[in-house]
Amino acid sequence: MIGVDVNSLPYESKIKYPMIKYVRLCRNLTQEQFGTVCKIDQGVLAKLERGDLDLSIHYESKILEGCHALYISDLELQSVKRLVELKEQRGIK
């Protein structure tokens, strides 16, 4: 990009890596099944779930497309986000 700091762009992430597992489990899917829907390799998905790989805009968009294909609503995503936040506050892994 021409002189643009990507980190300074106004972008709010809808998904954080701890949410991926719970989003997947909303539809009772294995990593392989969810990865197929999201067009992400199972190994990459496992790394994203563990936080071993940065959740880039590229991977986030693929996961959101998968959520759309599985009819996972914004309300479900917000509920999962809240669940993860509460677990973090209580120190539960």
pTM, two decimals, is 0.81
For the chain, which domains are there? 16-84 (1.10.260.40)
Return d(Cα 35, Cα 23) in angstroms, integer.
Answer: 12
Three-point CA angle 20, 47, 57, nearest 5° = 60
Question: How far apart are the two ends of the chain, measured CA to CA in Å?
Answer: 38
Q: Using one digit for the tens of pLDDT, what is the confidence trace for 32-67?
A: 999 999 999 999 999 999 999 999 989 999 999 999
Q: Give me the pLDDT at residue 10, please.
A: 63
What Cα–Cα distance (Å) separates residue 39 from each residue in 27, 33, 42, 75, 87?
16, 10, 9, 23, 29
